[in-house]
Chain A
Amino acid sequence: EPEVTQTPSHQVTQMGQEVILRCVPISNHLYFYWYRQILGQKVEFLVSFYNNEISEKSEIFDDQFSVERPDGSNFTLKIRSTKLEDSAMYFCASSGFSGSRNEQFFGPGTRLTVL
């Protein structure tokens, strides 16, 4: 069964450093998403991406964040200058459709720890 994969599973970085989180969505999906979950809190939407453009983004997704689909298979989330409060689990998701019945398939997540 096709699945969303994410690398690395755990990333440790120093405050102020740039990190890139990588995701490989399900191959025939067209819509891509990033979410984050701070330990003990709810999952929060960051950004959605379609046709090489950001479709929607939340207040969390500020200028420190960017997304890219560099090669037609990978979907990346870059954090330019990490802060302590960026420590969280980051989930990538993909779906084949938009609208009310788009089932989003989530990856296993990358745990980001900022020291």
Chain B
Amino acid sequence: KNQVEQSPQSLIILEGKNCTLQCNYTVSPFSNLRWYKQDTGRGPVSLTIMTFSENTKSNGRYTATLDADTKQSSLHITASQLSDSASYICVVSPTGSTLTFGKGTMLLVSP
């Protein structure tokens, strides 16, 4: 069964600090992996999209990595801001169009 597991489930960090979120997946076949940010009560917003041939992708203070051999990905957030408080969701696409979502990591950035 296609699964996407994320850790930690939740995380609290101080404003200005860095953090790294983890994602392991068993989705097969594999087309691409995405990281989304979801504010409470809102729709997910895409941060990065990586195919199996890409190892890293950056979007501002967000850097995603992908190891397709071990089926692991990480999202690194640098110099966190209060507005980074949200759920960060790892999403794997087996076909290129349908998406399999993880449960997300709830990040709280504290002043």
Contact = CB atoms under 8 A, between A and B. Distances in A.
Contacts of B41: 89, 108-109
A31 B97 CA distance: 9
Given A4-B43, A106-B45, A107-B43, A100 B101 contact: no
Contacts of B45: 106
A100 B32 contact: yes
A13 B77 CA distance: 41
B43 A109 contact: yes
A98 B99 CA distance: 12
B32 A56 contact: no
A31 B41 CA distance: 24
Interface string A34-65: 01000001111100100000011010000000
B98 A100 contact: no
A95 B95 CA distance: 15
A91 B101 CA distance: 13
Contact of B100 (A45, A93, A108): A45
Contacts of B97: 31, 33, 48, 55-56, 95, 98-99, 102
A56 B98 contact: yes
27 contacts: A4-B43, A31-B97, A35-B99, A42-B89, A43-B99, A43-B101, A55-B97, A56-B95, A58-B98, A89-B41, A91-B43, A98-B97, A99-B97, A100-B31, A100-B49, A101-B32, A102-B96, A102-B97, A103-B49, A104-B99, A106-B43, A106-B44, A107-B43, A108-B42, A108-B43, A109-B41, A109-B42
Interface of B: 31-32, 41-46, 49, 51, 89, 93, 95-104
